[in-house]
Amino acid sequence: MVQVDNTPAGGETGPRLSKPKSSDNGNVNTKTDWTQFKLDKKQLKLQRKRSRETFEITQKVKQLYELLKCRRSKDKHLLVEQMYKILNIDNMIVKVVVAHDSSRVIQCMLKHATPELREELSSKLIPHAPELCQSKYAHFCVNRMLKYGSPNTKKLLVNAMYGNMVRLCGHKIAGKIVDYIYLNGDSKERRYMRQEFYGDLYKSVKDDKVKCLKDSFKSSPDMKASIINAVKANLDHIANKELLDNSLVHAVLLEYIQVIDKEKMEETVTPLAAYIPHMLSTKDGAEAAILCFYNSTSKTRRAIIKKIKEHLLKISMHEHGHTFLIALLNTLDDTKAAKKSIFDPLYGELKTLVSNNYGRRVVQWMVAPGDTSCFHPSFIETIELGLKFGKKDKATRRQEILDQVEAPISVAIAEDPAFWLSNNHIGLVTANILKHLTGEHYEKAVAALAPVIADVNWRISEESAEGDSLKKKPHDVETYISNAIDERKKKNELKSALISSDEESEAEEEENANNEETMKDVDETEIDNKDKGKNNEVAGTPAKKPKMAENLDAEKETLTVKKETPAKEEQLLPTVIGIEDAGMHHVIKKILRSDLKRESTPFGNQLFNHLNTDVLKFWLGINRACFILVKLVESSPDLLNKCRILLKEDNLSQILENAQSAGAKLLVKKLKE
């Protein structure tokens, strides 16, 4: 039999079911009806829910919520108004927002409400913002207020969170919301958020004169030690929870490192070594990580390099992380360790790095550090501030790194030369690398690149390999769903049309079978006319299709076109002729310019050796290709003589004289000199 235990459990009142008791020998006294047991348990669970004060209200609201979340529903703002009238009783909204099911209702209301009602609903939640940010389910409602709320609502929400910033940054869920608010806030809001880390005084009172940590003790130097200790305690609290990946924390950490004394620097930097990868996601964090590396001991530096090793590719391709790697390469005295720890793991992903806007800067710094054609002077000036933290001479360190990396880079170019001239961005990197390669490494690289340029079928992509110039389109889930619904409707219409056409054909067959006897009595003349009609169809006149069949064929064609066209567009990338492209023309001229500074012009000779009559016929009709030939003949008298001899074959000189482009005219002038 089912036994009922009336003892309250887990803070809940009401009867609870207990398991059937057993006798001493372990057997159950009577046979248990488990179906009835589960049914009773379900009823008791429902009874406990009904005992809550929010049960009836949430049930009513959920019924409206089912209509509200339906895409086909109209006048959703009216549904939201009805839901708000039901919930707007005492403090009911705050009670239901923390539950897993009813929090979704509030989220949907915030999305579909009118601006006035959304502001009124937000005003009920904003006073409880710090608690809602830490709730497993209610924090989604805070996100909705930040997304759909008016500027005034967002401002009130941030004001309600003042005084709790340190506590919220130390929370796993709330920390992400604080990070979002800091990134999207104005300068005044950011200032106030940072001030809360300076001590308890600033949690209740804000000071517009305090713009950074230095300003907090500028007027009273005696307070410096206590303020710095307060900041350190707050940062340690967050670091112990491993929640340093936060833009607000990064900003405070940078200010803290900039003001502490050198004596305290080591004890601050050493614990942070383990969290360096988490600090590289923002500009302030990357700058703080660079200062940590500069002021750390050799042992701590090895620990930092070990920590970033597993995230090396992501750091190299990150907007702020790549600056940390460049600063590390510019400061580290042990160049062999730098190659082993940084370049060797990245060598296998060299193409990926060069294709990325930030990754290629790391490769360029290894080969051409401090080159103003690759880096902005202000960036070079910032990076060179770290030279005082190294012992080696700047030129010696950079030459040692180049000596170690030029051989593997030249091998990579020789293995796949077409990639290194696949678009303008990568081509510029290749030209900068060739400018600094030496000896046999340079000759190996240009020997592989020359056949690619001299190929008649050489084409390059208009965009970069990774599509750096294209912005990411936001994922509009609602649009995807509506498109899928439309496609499904069309498929269903096609199916129903096919079924109806089949039914019509069956009916026609039955009619034909019934009329066979009457058809036998038709006159011979009519039969002859029908035979003539059939002969016309055989001779080439197509038989007319029923209108339904024509419509179905048209719909099928449109559906297949819609499905196939996007796939083809995604596969086919826009390409242009390499020798005709303006950007690649600049790249080739840059390579030829640096080639002139070397003995015997290896690149010019290699390129000219691969120019045959077919290539010249193609090049003479292109203006920019003629200018490349002009550069070649200007670089060496030997190449000028070779060009004259080559143009005498297959009437190439006649083709050149008939060409009307400016490059062709200039080439004729150079050949006659």
Boundary-marking domain end, from 101, 130, 161 = 161
Cα gap 180→177, rounded to integer Å:
5
Under a CB-based contact definition with an 8 Å cutoff, are residues 133 and 126 in contact? no
Residue 230 forms part of a structural domain = no
386 close to 327: Cβ distance less than 8 angstroms: yes
In a domain, 408, yes or no: no
Is 21 part of any domain?
yes
Residue listed under structure tokens 């290896």: 602
Return d(Cα 453, Cα 610) in angstroms, integer: 9
Query: Are residue 68 and residue 13 in the same domain, yes or no?
Result: no
CA dist 174 and 239 (Å) reads 15
Please tell me whether residues 42 and 66 are part of one structural domain.
no
Residue 3, beta-bridge partner list: 18
- 143 and 59 in a common domain: yes
The helix or strand, by DSSP H or E, that contains position 5, with its residue range, turns out to be strand 3-5
Amino acid sitting at position 44: L
Residue 144 falls inside a structural domain = yes
pLDDT value at position 558?
Answer: 39
Question: What confidence tier does 467 reach under pLDDT thresholds 50, 70, 90?
Answer: very low
Q: In angstroms, rounded to a whole number, what is the distance separating the alpha carbons of residues 384 and 125?
A: 50
Q: Are residues 83 and 115 in the same domain?
A: yes
Q: Looking at the structure, do residues 89 and 8 belong to the same domain, yes or no?
A: no
Query: Does 367 fall in a domain?
Result: no
Q: 43 and 95 share a domain? A: no
What helix, strand, coil percent values describe the chain, rounded to 5?
70, 0, 25
Give how far Cα 242 sits from Cα of 133, 171, 246, Å.
19, 10, 10
Report how far residue 336's alpha carbon sits from residue 345's, in angstroms, rounded to the nearest whole number: 13
Reduced to 3 states (helix: H, G, I; strand: E, B; else coil), residue 25 is: coil
Cα four-point dihedral sign 602, 575, 350, 279: positive
User: Which tens digits make up the pLDDT trace of 417-458?
Assistant: 999 998 889 999 999 999 998 888 998 999 999 999 988 888
User: What are the DSSP calls for 203-220, one per residue?
Assistant: HH---TT--SHHHHTTS-
Average pLDDT, integer, range 75-94: 89
DSSP class of residue 371 equals -
Residue 369 confidence (pLDDT) above 50: yes
Mean pLDDT computed over 597-612: 83
Single-letter amino acid code for the residue at 516: E
List CB contacts of 148: < 8 A, sequence separation 6 or more.
Answer: 110, 111, 118
Contacts 24+ apart (CB under 8 A), 468-472: 468/356, 468/357, 468/425
Lowest mean pLDDT among 316-320, 441-445, 525-529: 525-529
CA 274, CA 123: separation in Å to the nearest integer?
42
Residue 199 Rama label (left phi>0; alpha psi -120 to 50; beta): left
> Is 610 in contact with 451 (CB distance < 8 Å)?
yes
Could you read off the pLDDT of 372-393 as tens digits, one per residue?
A: 888 999 999 999 988 888 888 8
Smallest CA-to-CA distance from 644 within 611, 606, 602 is with 611
Tell me the C-alpha distance between 537 and 543, whole Å. Answer: 6
Please enumerate in sequence order all residues whose Cβ is within 8 A of that of 390, keeping only pairs 6 or more positions apart, or say none: 330, 331, 332, 333, 397
- Least-confidence region, from 106-115, 288-297, 570-579, 599-608: 570-579
**Banded pLDDT at 574 (limits 50, 70, 90):** confident
**Stretch 302-312: mean pLDDT, rounded?**
90
d(CA 304, CA 288): 13
CA proximity to 579, closest of 636, 528, 623, 525: 623
81 and 34 in one domain?
no
Q: Do residues 92 and 29 share a domain? A: no
pLDDT of residue 557: 42
Using the structure block, give the residue that is written with the tokens 């913002």: 129
Q: Do residues 62 and 157 share a domain?
A: yes
Task: Check residue 567 and give its pLDDT.
Answer: 39
Domain of 59, in residue numbers: 52-161
Q: Residue 660, SS3?
A: coil
Which of these three, 92, 127, 161, is where a domain ends?
A: 161
Measured over the CA atoms of residue 446, residue 452, residue 456 and residue 460, the dihedral's sign is negative
Residue 129 carries which side chain, given as an amino acid letter?
A
Query: Could you tell me if residue 69 is inside a domain?
Result: yes
**Given pLDDT bands bounded at 50, 70 and 90, which one contains residue 535?**
very low
Look up residue 131 and give its two tokens: 């608690």
Q: How many domains does the chain have?
A: 3
Strand stretches in 254-391, DSSP E:
none
Tokens of 129: 């913002």
Q: Which of 594, 664, 673 lies closest to 635 in space, CA to CA?
A: 594
DSSP letter at 459?
Answer: E
Domain boundary among 129, 161, 193: 161
Give 196-250 pLDDT, tens digit per residue: 999 888 888 888 899 999 998 888 888 888 999 999 999 999 999 989 999 999 9
Cα 212 to Cα 209: distance, rounded to the nearest angstrom:
9
Is 46 in the same domain as 58? no
Distance between CA atoms of 501 and 548, rounded to whole angstroms?
7
Q: Which residues pair with 577 in a beta bridge?
A: 459
| Range 123-148 average pLDDT | 94
Higher pLDDT pick, 614 / 539: 614
The answer to whether residues 11 and 26 touch, using CB atoms and an 8 Å cutoff, is: no
If asked whether residues 68 and 140 sit together in one domain, one would say yes
To the nearest whole percent, how much of the chain has pLDDT over 70? Answer: 80
- Residue 579 CA to residue 594 CA, distance in Å, equals 19
Please say whether the beta carbons of 269 and 198 come within 8 A.
Answer: no
The first and second tokens of residue 327, run together, are: 């600063």
DSSP 135-194: STTTHHHHHHHHHHS-HHHHHHHHHHHTT-HHHHHTSTTHHHHHHHHHHHS-HHHHHHHH
**329 is a domain residue:** no
Mean per-residue pLDDT for 401-428?
90
From residue 599, give the alpha-carbon distance in Å to each of 312, 493, 604, 637. Answer: 39, 75, 11, 14
Of the pLDDT bands very low, low, confident and very high (cuts 50, 70, 90), residue 538 is very low
Q: Is residue 113 within 8 Å of residue 124, measured between CB atoms?
A: no
> Is residue 479's pLDDT more than 80?
no
Give the integer Cα–Cα distance in Å for 437 and 381: 24
* Contact status, residue 292 vs residue 257, Cβ threshold 8 Å: yes
Neighbouring C-alpha atoms within 13 Å toward the C-beta of 297: 9
Sign of CA dihedral 154, 157, 163, 166: negative
Per-residue pLDDT, averaged over 298-318, amounts to 90
Angle formed at CA 411 by CA 407 and CA 417, multiple of 5 degrees = 135
Residue bearing tokens 């607000």: 248
For the ranges 9-13, 43-47, 490-494, the lowest mean pLDDT is seen at 9-13
- On whether residue 184 sits in a domain, the answer given is no
Are 153 and 60 within one domain? yes
Residue whose C-alpha is closest to residue 193's, from 226, 151, 161, 239? 161
Decide: 579 and 628 in contact? Cβ < 8 Å: yes
